[in-house]
Structure 1
Amino acid sequence: MSVQRANVSNDLIWQITRNQNAYLVRRNTAGGSQFSRDPLNLVNKHSFKYAGYANNKAVGVQSAENGAVTVITKKPGNPQQPAQNQVSVTYGSKTATRKIYKGVASKTAQHGYRADVREEAVARVSALRRSQQPKKDTPASKPRGAQARKATEASE
């Protein structure tokens, strides 16, 4: 006995959920901007192109513990089982950034898998790696001019 599965198009899912979903964030400032908290959304922009829940093929990049980066992809094969559809690959903190770029680019390029979001995925990895680097200590600026004279007079 075979089970019939209903095929629902990505466009229909987007049309139904675009005005109200769990990931939608609306801001009244800046002209009523709309953002998304979807983990499979690379730029956090509320649009069909980047909506991971509405597309069969989606890519997400998130930071993990200890400076690691996790790349999440969605398998297009079985949309009825969303918990089993996500494949995550974690790159450790010691992994070279260029190796992560190559992994993300190859993941989005294989067999026509969302090559339109390749640049955004690599940019997201770059931003995450940059934010995970320790901040450089900047020395305190030396007082100059009148402030320097005041400082020397006060110390004497």
Structure 2
Amino acid sequence: MSVSRPNVSNDLIWQITRNQNAYLVRRNTGGGSQFSRDPLNLVNKHSFKYSGFANNKAVGVQSDENGNVVLITKKPNNTQQPAQSLVTVSYGPKTSTRKIYKGVASKTAQHGYRADVREEAVSRVSALRRAGLPKKETPASKPRGAKARQAEEKSE
């Protein structure tokens, strides 16, 4: 028995759920900005283009506690079974950044999946990799000129 796709369009799902859903975050500051906590939303922007729950084809990039970059894609054919519709690919912390970029770009562009969000997916990977790097310690600046002379006089 094959499971058929529901007769509900993505646009209708978005129109029904755009004002109230579990992922919506509203802020009064900044002109009443609206954000999204959807794991399949690449830019955390509350819009139909980036919405993971309203689109049959969605892409998400996250990092886990081990420093891995996880690419999550949604199968367009399994809309009736949401738990089995997600495909995850994990890239370890030692994997080269170029290899991850290539994997993400090819996954989003294969067979016309979601080429419109390829750039956002790669930039999200870049941001996650930068966030995972250890912080560089800046050396204390040495006083120069008059401040150096004052510090020298105080130490004597």
TM-score when normalising by structure 2: 0.95
Question: Structure 1 regions of 5+ residues with no counterpart?
Answer: none
Provide the identity percentage: 83
Q: Give how far 1:146 is off.
A: 2.5
Give the letter for the 1:95 counterpart.
T
Correspondence 1:110-129 to 2 at 5 A? 110-129=110-129
Residues 42-67 of structure 1 show CA distances to partners (whole Å, capped at 9, x for unaligned) of: 00000000000000000000011232
Could you tell me whether the CA contact under 8 Å between 2:75 and 2:87 is conserved in 1? Answer: yes
Q: Give how far 1:4 is off.
A: 6.4
Q: Which residue of 2 aligns with 1:26?
A: 26
Give the letter for the 2:29 counterpart.
T
Q: Which residue of 1 aligns with 2:151?
A: 151
Residues 16-57 of structure 1 show CA distances to partners (whole Å, capped at 9, x for unaligned) of: 000010000011111111000000000000000000000000
Q: Which residue of 2 aligns with 1:7?
A: 7
Could you tell me whether the CA contact under 8 Å between 2:59 and 2:71 is conserved in 1? Answer: yes
TM-score when normalising by structure 1: 0.95
Q: Which residue of 1 aligns with 2:107?
A: 107
Q: Which residue of 2 aligns with 1:91?
A: 91
Could you tell me whether the CA contact under 8 Å between 2:5 and 2:77 is conserved in 1? Answer: no
Correspondence 1:48-67 to 2 at 5 A? 48-67=48-67
Residues 89-142 of structure 1 show CA distances to partners (whole Å, capped at 9, x for unaligned) of: 110000000000000001001111011000000000011101111111110111
List structure 1 runs of 4+ shifted beyond 6 angstroms. Answer: 1-4
Structure 2 CA distance for partners of 1:63 and 1:81, relative to 1, 3 Å: same
Give the letter for the 1:25 counterpart.
V
Give the letter for the 2:21 counterpart.
N
Structure-2 separation of matches of 1:141 and 1:116: 46
Q: Secondary structure at the match of 1:67?
A: coil
Give the letter for the 2:54 counterpart.
A
Q: Give how far 1:153 is off.
A: 1.3
Give the letter for the 2:7 counterpart.
N
Q: Give how far 1:148 is off.
A: 1.3
> Which piece of structure 1 moves more, 61-70 or 11-20?
61-70
Q: Which residue of 2 aligns with 1:46?
A: 46
- Between the two proteins, the alignment pairs up a number of residues equal to 156
Structure-2 separation of matches of 1:75 and 1:4: 14
Please give the root-mean-square deviation of Cα atoms over the aligned residues, in Å: 1.5
Structure-2 separation of matches of 1:5 and 1:124: 31
Structure 2 CA distance for partners of 1:33 and 1:82, relative to 1, 3 Å: same
Could you tell me whether the CA contact under 8 Å between 2:24 and 2:35 is conserved in 1? Answer: yes
